[in-house]
Each structure stands twice: as C-alpha cells, then as structure tokens.
Amino acid sequence: MTKTAIITGITGQDGGYLAKMLLEKGYKVIGAYRRGATDTFGKLKEHGIFNQIEMVEFELLEFTNICRAITKYKPDEFYNLAAQSFVGLSFEEPIYTTQVDGIGVLYILEALRQFSPETRFYQASTSEMFGFAQEVPQRETTPFYPRSPYGIAKLMAHWMTTNYRESFNLYTCSGILFNHESPFRGREFVTRKITSHFAHLFLGQIDEPCELGNLNAKRDWGFAGDYVELMWEMLQQKKGDTYVISTGKTYSIREFIFEVGKTCGWDIEFKGESEHEIGVDKKSGRILVRVNPKLYRPAEVEQLLGDSSKAKEKLGWTPKVKFAELCKMMIDADIVRAEQGVL
Ligand code: NAP
Ligand code: F7E
C-alpha cells in the first residue's frame, strides 16, 4: 500500500532532498509550506519534483492549521524540517525563533497525540544543542550546552519529542544532525556564502572579497543528500529513538575556503590576525576573503565533531560524500548558476 508522508520545511535544503528520495521509494509526499509573497518553490523545481508533490498550507505558529493538515492526511510518517534555522538571526529574533523552533514542535506533537497517534514523527534536531561541547566527539549521551536561542529552542523541541515518546507511546525520533550542506544550501550559511561569492569572483563578475566572521570555527560537514536517508531509516525501526548523524571529521572555515579555492585555480594563504586577516591567492596576490568583525556572533560554537557509531550500528549507515567532494560539488554548481545568470 502506498505510504503517505508529510514534510514540513519542504521548500528548504533538506525538504527537497527528502521529498525526492521518498518519491523514488513510491511515497505520496505532502509538502507543507507557508505562503509567501514570492515564489519559494525554486529548489523543488530545480530538483524536478515540484509537480509530483501535493502541497498543503502550513504555518508552525498556527495550531489550527497544523491540526487540519494532520486530520486531513493522517500520514504514516511526519518529518518536521521546518524551522527558523539560521543561528545568527536567532540572536536578533530570539522570541520568534523560540516560538517556531520550540513551541511549534509542541503544537505538532500535541496534534499527533490527539488526531493521529499512529503517525511516526521525525524531529530535525541539531548539533547546535551541544554548543559549548562538553565532550569530544559528541554522541547521544554528551551533555547539552546550547550557545544560541536557536540551539536552546531546538533543545526544548528535542526533549518534547523524547517526552511524547515516553509519556504517550508515540513513535518519535530525534535526529541530532551535524552541519550538512549542498548546492541547495541557503546563501546566508557560511559554506554557500563562500561558494556563491567565489563563483562570481572566478567569473570576474565582481571584485570585492568575500566578507566573513569567525574563520576559526570548525564544523563536521556532511552532504544533505546523504543525511536524508537516515531520517527515513530512523522511522523504519521497531521503536523511536535519538541518533547522532555526522561524518566524524571536522574542518575550519579556512580549510573550506582553501578547498573551494582550489577548484577556482587559487592557492589561498591567510595573512594577518583577527579582524585584519585576509585570504590571498598566492599566485596573483588577489584578495579573496576579508574578515568583518560585525559578522562575529555574540556567543560562538567553536568546534563540533560528531560520533555517529550508534547510527552506524543500528541503522547500518556510513556517509558517502567526503569533504573535498562536497566543496567541489558546491562550487561547481554555483559557477554553472553564475554563468547562466541565475545566482
Ligand atoms: P532551511 O533550508 O533553512 O529550510 C527551513 C524551512 O523551514 C523552509 O522551508 C522554511 O520555509 C520553513 N519554515 C521556516 N519557518 C517556518 C514557519 N514558521 N512555518 C512553516 N515553515 C517554516 O533548513 P534546512 O537546512 O533544510 O534544515 C532542515 C531542518 O534541519 C531545520 O529544522 C534545521 O533547523 C535543521 N537542521 C539543519 C542542519 C543543517 O546543517 N542544514 C543541521 C541540523 C539541523 P520558507 O521557504 O517559507 O522560508
Ligand atoms: O555558520 C562561522 C559562524 O551559519 C558556521 C545551521 O544549519 O548548522 C548550521 O548552523 C560557522 C559559525 O552554520 C560567517 O560563526 C564565519 O561558527 O554556516 P553557519 P551554523 O551556525 O553552524 C547547524 C547544525 C544547524 O542546525 C543550523 O540550522 O561559520 N562564520 N563567517 C560565518 N557564518 C555565516 N553564516 N556567515 C559568515 O559570514
């Protein structure tokens, strides 16, 4: 029998990859989106799947709307990927972020409990909950220490997800995913900010260096297309659980810049300290990166490194795309877009 899945955050990076994968598995996919003044379906159209998805209006702050979507479809699986997902913005909009990323998840859980308790629920949790990491590497048992309103709101949602499993016997999963990127990453996130800017620099469409904040930060970066497989796997087990998903390797922003620069034919070296630091192509002397202290965060997550042994053992998974391949995939895609004038 055809299974039905609701995906919230369908217009985002992960929404597109997950929808594509579920369609390939024969699912009926319900895309839960919020109405906007401009078209937000660009990623789904680029994936070539927009016409295969049934869309339903869905706003995380509107409980009645959530109840209607759940009672209408009573889905086999519900993937909650919707969120105010930008950590930097969460310092400027802490109340909104907490409502959407924390309370919004409680609305969904409560609606499932009331109207569709058989639905299996996936919550998009995050390595930002580890924040000021209390252990290296971070695993399911590592104590949490979030460093942003985003991380704190997601932690509330994580515990609600756990609590509704323990209290009401719902099948709920919390996927603690470390950073995952792709050519569909939002352009405000550091990886895509770099690849989209470098694509324009490479083609000579602009001259200004890419302005960045803290270059020391280190992240465990994986590929979004790999990670959505795990979201699905988590919902196919005997019971719901919490899993860390990561590559087990960590790289600095500088290393990401260097790797992306290689595809553009640049050999980037870093000169100067703190706000005076620049990234320069050794051969031409061209300045490609500049630090702007305005982009520093009020509290930073300096380093994340995950241990996904549990997912490997229980879900039989290892990440496929490696760091260098990911960097190349992202810059190649942005160069093509910039050439076509769609970046
Ligand atoms: P994304 O590209 O920023 O997408 C976020 C999605 O949420 C968009 O579809 C957005 O819709 C929707 N949304 C935002 N506020 C909403 C609201 N109030 N009501 C309904 N929909 C709303 O995020 P992503 O990278 O795909 O990440 C997916 C999920 O995983 C997020 O929950 C994120 O916090 C979490 N996560 C991401 C990572 C990562 O590295 N990517 C790691 C761990 C966890 P619009 O298009 O209308 O804005
Ligand atoms: O920052 C530093 C910044 O915004 C990464 C989200 O998907 O992953 C993401 O959150 C690092 C930080 O991602 C700039 O200070 C330097 O240390 O790309 P980001 P994030 O904050 O790690 C987690 C797992 C999520 O759950 C989130 O939803 O890069 N950085 N200079 C910069 N970051 C940005 N955005 N822009 C800069 O100019």
Tens-place pLDDT, residues 83-102? 999 999 999 999 999 999 99
Are residues 143 and 235 located together in one domain of the fold?
Answer: yes
Are residues 287 and 336 located together in one domain of the fold?
Answer: yes
Question: Would you state the pLDDT for residue 318?
Answer: 84
**Structural domain boundaries enclosing 178:** 4-182+223-248+307-315
Are residues 263 and 155 located together in one domain of the fold?
Answer: no
Question: Would you state the pLDDT for residue 242?
Answer: 98
Tens-place pLDDT, residues 321-342? 999 999 999 999 999 999 999 9
Residue 113 has pLDDT above 90, yes or no: yes
Are residues 11 and 122 located together in one domain of the fold?
Answer: yes
Sign of CA dihedral 34, 40, 45, 51: positive
Are residues 176 and 282 located together in one domain of the fold?
Answer: no
Are residues 235 and 335 located together in one domain of the fold?
Answer: no
Question: Would you state the pLDDT for residue 154?
Answer: 98
User: Which CATH number does the domain housing residue 81 bear?
Assistant: 3.40.50.720
Are residues 155 and 97 located together in one domain of the fold?
Answer: yes
- Nearest ligand 2 atom to the CA of 85 is 28
| Contact yes or no for 57/64 (Cβ under 8 A) | no
In sequence order, which ranges of the chain are alpha helices (DSSP H)? 13-24, 42-47, 63-73, 87-92, 94-98, 104-115, 149-168, 190-202, 224-234, 253-263, 309-315, 323-340
Question: Would you state the pLDDT for residue 73?
Answer: 98
CA nearest ligand 1 atom 27, residue: 14
What is the pairing mode between strands 120-126 and 172-177?
parallel
Are residues 34 and 172 located together in one domain of the fold?
Answer: yes
Are residues 202 and 176 located together in one domain of the fold?
Answer: no
Pocket of ligand 1 (CB under 6 A): 8-9, 11-15, 34, 36, 40, 58-61, 81-85, 100, 124, 126, 177, 179-180, 186
CA nearest ligand 2 atom 1, residue: 190
User: Which CATH number does the domain housing residue 280 bear?
Assistant: 3.90.25.10
- Model confidence at 317, pLDDT cuts 50, 70, 90, reads confident
Domain tally, the chain:
2
Are residues 264 and 198 located together in one domain of the fold?
Answer: yes
Tens-place pLDDT, residues 136-186? 999 999 999 999 999 999 999 999 999 999 999 999 999 999 999 999 999
Are residues 161 and 42 located together in one domain of the fold?
Answer: yes
Which of 35, 79, 85, when mutated, tests ligand 1's pocket best, judged by the most ligand atoms within 8 Å of its CB?
85
- Nearest ligand 1 atom to the CA of 59 is 19
Q: What angle do CA 206, 211, 214 make, to 5 degrees?
A: 155
Pick the ligand that lies closest to the CA of residue 177: 1
Pick the ligand that lies closest to the CA of residue 130: 2
Question: Could you confirm whether 128 is annotated as catalytic?
Answer: yes
| From 77, 128, 181, 233, active-site residue | 128
CA nearest ligand 1 atom 18, residue: 60
Q: Compute the distance between CA of residue 253 and CA of residue 250 in angstroms, rounded to an integer.
A: 10
Nearest by Cα to 210 from 153, 262, 161, 260? 260
Residue 295 has pLDDT above 90, yes or no: yes
Tens-place pLDDT, residues 224-258? 999 999 999 999 999 999 999 999 999 999 999 99
| From 126, 161, 191, 195, active-site residue | 126
Rounded mean pLDDT of the chain? 97
Q: Compute the distance between CA of residue 310 and CA of residue 151 in angstroms, rounded to an integer.
A: 22
Question: Could you confirm whether 150 is annotated as catalytic?
Answer: yes
Are residues 114 and 209 located together in one domain of the fold?
Answer: no
Tens-place pLDDT, residues 249-291? 999 999 999 999 999 999 999 999 999 999 999 999 999 999 9
pTM of model > 0.95? yes
Question: Could you confirm whether 126 is annotated as catalytic?
Answer: yes
